[in-house]
Amino acid sequence: MNEVNNRPDLSAAVSTDVDQGVESHTARLRRRRIIVNILRILILIIFIGGWELAARVGIIDPFFWGMPSGIWAQIVTWVVNGTAQGPLWQQIAVTLEETVIGFVLGVVLGVVFGVLLGRNRFLADVLSPYLKVANSMPRIVLGAIFGIALGLGIQSKIALAFVLVFFIVFFNAFQGVREVDRNLLANAQILGANQRKISTEVIIPSALSWIIASLHTSFSFALVGAVVGEFLGSVQGLGLLIQTAQGTFNANGVFAAMTILAAVALITEYLITALENRLIRWRPNTVSDVTI
């Protein structure tokens, strides 16, 4: 009898124990997150503060290496008074325009050619030595040719961003098509898919995780293409801003333009991650929490 009476109490005790366990676990997670954030901010303060202090005390020469307060002042000046080559937002807009057009063209054509060659083994065999050459060449030097051929306008920068993006996306799409599960292909054929449906409903969705993985890298390459293109000769853009600052020994100006570029890159990175989550919703979340 005693035993029977004891049972509800026992189970109640166990369940509260479990509840407390869950609670303390979430509390521990929350505390960990707070500590991580505090440490992150601390590192930023030490880095910027140390730099500023070292520059003021004279350990490093702010003429060559700049200093945070000077960089901030430079950004404020650009925002308020504009740059030597026009308003700041216009420089950002020009660089972004070159980057985005080059990126979109590179992605679209990279996917089209990747899928085409991935599906056509004969064509892939014929073209493979040329693709290897094109891939091993440091393509950034093409910027010089584009500068000559396409002039100082945005076309030469778009072209450079394009070639950098194209090859990354192309090789990923090509590999993605080659890796498609043969069972899925056979299933689609038996269910009645024609060649076009097989491409759009099986091969492209299947290769999409490869393609999307390449978008992160290729967007930063598009930005590199646009900025280097502006370096090599241009009338507007953040790359020109850096070059002008360099030419006038304005270290703060170089760092200020770099800071703006970094902010632009971070925002676009965030947008691409959002796009990725939308496009491959079907994929299980195997990679968890690798936030850097």
The site for other proteins (CB under 8 A) is made up of 181, 183-184, 186-194, 197, 201-202, 205-206, 208, 280-284
Q: Which residue has the tokens 């990126």?
A: 103
For other proteins, the closer CB: 7 or 196: 196
DSSP of 76-106 = HHHHHH-BTTB-HHHHHHHHHHHHHHHHHHH
Sign of the CA dihedral with 188 first, then 191, 194, and 200 last: negative
At residue 97, φ and ψ (nearest 5 deg) are -60, -50
Closest CB 258 distance from other proteins, rounded Å: 39
Residues recorded for the chain: 292
Eight-state DSSP code of residue 61:
-
- Which amino acid, 176? G
For other proteins, the closer CB: 187 or 273: 187
d(CA 117, CA 167): 13
Closest CB 203 distance from other proteins, rounded Å: 11
For other proteins, the closer CB: 82 or 205: 205
Contact 117, 178 (CB under 8 A): no
For other proteins, the closer CB: 71 or 173: 173
Torsion of CA 21, 24, 26, 31, to 10 degrees: -160
Closest CB 174 distance from other proteins, rounded Å: 20
Closest CB 115 distance from other proteins, rounded Å: 16
For other proteins, the closer CB: 54 or 198: 198
Cα distances (Å, whole numbers) of residue 260 to 79, 267, 273, 288: 11, 11, 20, 30
For other proteins, the closer CB: 101 or 204: 204
Q: Which residues contact 117 (CB under 8 A, 6 or more apart)?
A: 123, 124, 127, 174
For other proteins, the closer CB: 194 or 248: 194
Closest CB 290 distance from other proteins, rounded Å: 19
Closest CB 122 distance from other proteins, rounded Å: 18
d(CA 57, CA 70): 15
For other proteins, the closer CB: 164 or 180: 180
Closest CB 106 distance from other proteins, rounded Å: 24
Q: Which residues contact 173 (CB under 8 A, 6 or more apart)?
A: 110, 111, 113, 114, 115, 118, 207, 210, 211, 214
Closest CB 264 distance from other proteins, rounded Å: 32
